[in-house]
C-alpha cells in the first residue's frame, strides 16, 4: 500500500515565483512521511544495479542523472535542475520521463533569491517549484552552495522534527567538482547532519 505523499499537496498550478517557492516548502512538509529518501549525486560512480528503491521511497536526482535509476523506481521522483534556461527540459536527456502519472516533479534551484524575485519569470514556467541556495547559511567567502549540499541541508532541517522520519541515503557524494563551491566546507558540515551521523554509527557497528 502506497503512502500518501505527493498527493497530499494540491495539484500544481503555480504561476508566480512565490507560488513555486511556497510549493517547495509545502512539499518539504510531507517529505518525512516517506520510508526512505535516496539522494543521488551527479557522479559517474553511481550504478543503477547498486540502488534498490521501493514504492514508498522518494528518489531525488540532479541535472543529468542516470536514466536507469529513475526508470526502475516505482515511487515518487524529484528532479532538481540548477538555474539555467529550461528550454531543453523536455527534450534530449529529460524527454523519456513521464510527468503524466503525477509521481514526478521538476524543481528549479536558483543561485540567489534575487535572481527569481520577479513574478512570472519565463524560464521557470516548466518547473513545479523553486528554491534558492541562499535559503541556507553558507559561511564560505565568495563561494556558493552546491545543489546537493543545499538540498541535504534543508532535508536535515526538516528531519530534525521529533518524529520517526525516513532513512536518508546519500549516494555518490564525493564533495568535489566545480571551484565555485567550497567542497571541504560542505563535507565537514554534512558530517554533522542527522542522517550522516546515523550512517557513521551503523558503519562502526
Q: Which of 32, 49, 27 is nearest to 171 (CA)?
A: 49
43 CB-near residues (< 8 Å, 6+ apart)? 172, 173, 174
Please report the pLDDT score of residue 38 as a whole number: 93
- Residue 69 predicted with pLDDT over 50: yes
43 by Cβ neighbours in 10 Å (0-12 / 13-18 / 19+) ranks as: middle
- Residue 41 predicted with pLDDT over 60: yes
92 CB-near residues (< 8 Å, 6+ apart)? none
What confidence category does residue 140 fall into, taking pLDDT thresholds of 50, 70 and 90?
confident
What confidence category does residue 114 fall into, taking pLDDT thresholds of 50, 70 and 90?
confident
- Residue 104 predicted with pLDDT over 60: yes
Least confident interval from 5-19, 112-126, 151-165 = 5-19
What mean pLDDT is reported for the chain?
78
Interval 23-37: pLDDT, tens = 999 888 888 888 899
Please report the pLDDT score of residue 201 as a whole number: 44
Cβ–Cβ under 8 Å, residues 70 and 90: no
Please report the pLDDT score of residue 30 as a whole number: 84
- Residue 148 predicted with pLDDT over 70: yes
Please report the pLDDT score of residue 51 as a whole number: 86
- Residue of higher predicted confidence among 49 and 44: 49
Least confident interval from 42-51, 56-65, 105-114 = 42-51
Look up residue 149 and give its three cell numbers.
549540499
Please report the pLDDT score of residue 198 as a whole number: 52
Distances (CA, A) of 149 to 3, 15, 115, 168, 190: 27, 27, 20, 13, 8
174-186 average pLDDT score: 92
Distances (CA, A) of 154 to 49, 70, 72, 89: 28, 22, 26, 24
Please report the pLDDT score of residue 117 as a whole number: 66
Please report the pLDDT score of residue 3 as a whole number: 41
Amino acid at each position: 500500500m502506497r503512502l500518501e505523499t505527493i498527493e497530499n499537496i494540491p495539484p500544481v498550478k503555480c504561476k508566480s515565483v512565490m507560488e513555486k517557492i511556497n510549493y517547495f516548502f509545502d512539499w518539504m512538509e510531507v517529505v518525512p512521511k516517506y520510508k526512505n529518501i535516496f539522494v543521488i549525486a551527479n557522479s559517474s560512480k553511481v550504478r543503477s544495479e547498486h540502488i534498490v528503491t521501493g514504492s514508498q521511497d522518494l528518489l531525488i536526482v540532479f541535472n543529468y542523472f542516470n536514466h536507469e535509476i529513475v526508470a526502475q523506481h516505482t515511487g515518487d521522483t524529484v528532479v532538481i535542475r540548477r538555474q539555467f534556461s529550461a528550454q531543453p527540459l523536455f527534450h534530449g536527456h529529460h524527454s523519456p520521463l513521464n510527468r503524466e502519472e503525477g509521481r514526478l516533479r521538476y524543481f528549479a534551484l536558483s543561485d540567489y533569491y534575487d535572481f527569481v524575485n520577479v513574478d512570472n519569470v519565463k524560464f521557470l514556467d516548466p518547473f513545479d517549484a523553486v528554491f534558492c541556495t541562499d535559503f541556507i547559511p553558507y559561511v564560505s567567502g565568495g563561494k556558493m552552495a552546491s545543489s546537493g549540499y543545499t538540498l541535504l541541508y534543508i532535508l536535515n532541517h526538516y528531519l530534525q522534527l521529533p518524529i520517526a522520519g525516513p532513512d536518508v541515503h546519500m549516494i555518490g557524494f564525493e564533495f568535489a567538482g566545480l571551484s565555485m563551491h567550497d567542497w571541504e566546507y560542505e563535507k565537514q558540515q554534512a558530517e554533522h547532519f542527522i542522517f550522516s551521523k546515523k550512517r557513521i554509527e551503523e558503519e562502526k557497528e
